[in-house]
Amino acid sequence: MDSRADEAARPRALVTGAGAGLGREYTRRLAADSYDLVLVGRNEARLRELAQQLESEFSIRAEVVPADLSAAEGIDAIRAVIESTRVDLLINNAGYGLKHGLLDSDPDELAELDTVLSGAVRDLSVAAAKEMKARGRGGIINVSSLAALTTMGQYAASKSAALVFTEALAGELRDTPVTVTAVLPGFIRTEFHERLGVDRPGPGWIWLDVEHVVTRSLADARRGKVVSIPGWQYRLAAQVAHVAPRSLIRLGSEKFSFERNS
């Protein structure tokens, strides 16, 4: 089989927020499974370095598409990739947190965060779902958060919207070969909290490794599970959250706070 035929035979995944944390681990795991990749993120240099590593180590093809998903132009650029080339698996993973609460954040910051965590997820998922349904195969993984079950500011609100949207899309695609999965991680050992400038709260047992989160979520997605919650402690927490009074959820959310680094 020549290189072009080999490439055509390999599945192809597009991962947003591919340069670090969960996104980076998704790309490595998929490359190990012989997926070609489209790496999306804002840091082009980091993405190109990662692409070279993946191509060298796993003999796959890794393309780089720099894009800022807080802007319409960035979302349009990635949607164009989805609509013009084959994407067998879309992983909407891009995300970040704000350093301040609702009242202390600039309105533009809140809007941009919501666009990345919810708007981009919606627009790219719909574009991918249409193409996948027409081809008769495909999968979509949207990384939400266990925070979606809380009232912890704009981050939680946007992650909640992404969760509900994902469940709705999965319902519309129920009788098709296209799977849609929302992943609700809890605390993960990544760069997220360092970038946010906060200390990691709580005991060590609440922290999950990225490898575990990626392994569990990919396995759940392949089984067609609509909601994936890695970690027994977080599956238990989700069950409690579903039956707890909202007043208790609000109280717990208000009392929880990160300790900011100076």
Residue 195 is encoded by which pair of tokens? 């970038």
Active-site residue (options: 26, 35, 155, 234): 155
Q: Which neighbouring-strand residues pair with 207?
A: 187
In the residue annotation, 155 being an active-site residue is answered as: yes
Which range, of 186-195, 211-220, 233-242, averages the lowest pLDDT? 186-195
Among residues 161, 149, 158, 159, which one has the least CA distance to residue 114?
A: 158
In the chain, what are the domain boundaries?
A: 3-255
Q: How confident is the model over 51-99, as pLDDT tens digits?
A: 999 999 999 999 999 999 999 999 999 999 999 999 999 999 999 999 8
| pLDDT(9) > 60 | yes
Residue 194 is encoded by which pair of tokens? 């360092």
CB 140 within 8 A of CB 180: yes
Among residues 220, 96, 107, which one has the least CA distance to residue 159?
A: 96
pLDDT band of 198, cuts 50, 70, 90: very low
| pLDDT(27) > 80 | yes
Among residues 161, 160, 158, 141, which one has the least CA distance to residue 217?
A: 141
| Strand bridging mode 227-228 / 62-66 | unpaired
Rounded-to-integer distance, Cα 222 and Cα 216, Å: 10
Q: What whole-number percentage of the chain has pLDDT above 70?
A: 87
pLDDT band of 251, cuts 50, 70, 90: confident
Among residues 120, 149, 174, 176, which one has the least CA distance to residue 235?
A: 149
Strands ordered across the beta sheet of 138-143? 62-66, 36-41, 12-16, 89-92, 138-143, 178-183, 227-228
pLDDT band of 255, cuts 50, 70, 90: low
Q: Does domain 3-255 have CATH number 3.40.50.720?
A: yes
The overall pTM is greater than 0.85: yes
For residue 232, give every residue at least 6 positions away whose Cβ sits within 8 Å of its Cβ, in sequence order, or none: none
Using the Cα atoms of residue 151, residue 155, residue 160 and residue 161 in order, give the sign of their dihedral.
positive
For residue 123, give every residue at least 6 positions away whose Cβ sits within 8 Å of its Cβ, in sequence order, or none: 75, 79
CB 208 within 8 A of CB 186: yes
CA angle at 141 for the pair 138 and 145, rounded to the nearest 5° = 170
Q: How confident is the model over 89-147, as pLDDT tens digits?
A: 999 999 999 989 999 999 999 999 999 999 999 999 999 999 999 999 999 999 999 99
Q: How confident is the model over 145-169, as pLDDT tens digits?
A: 999 998 789 999 999 999 999 999 9
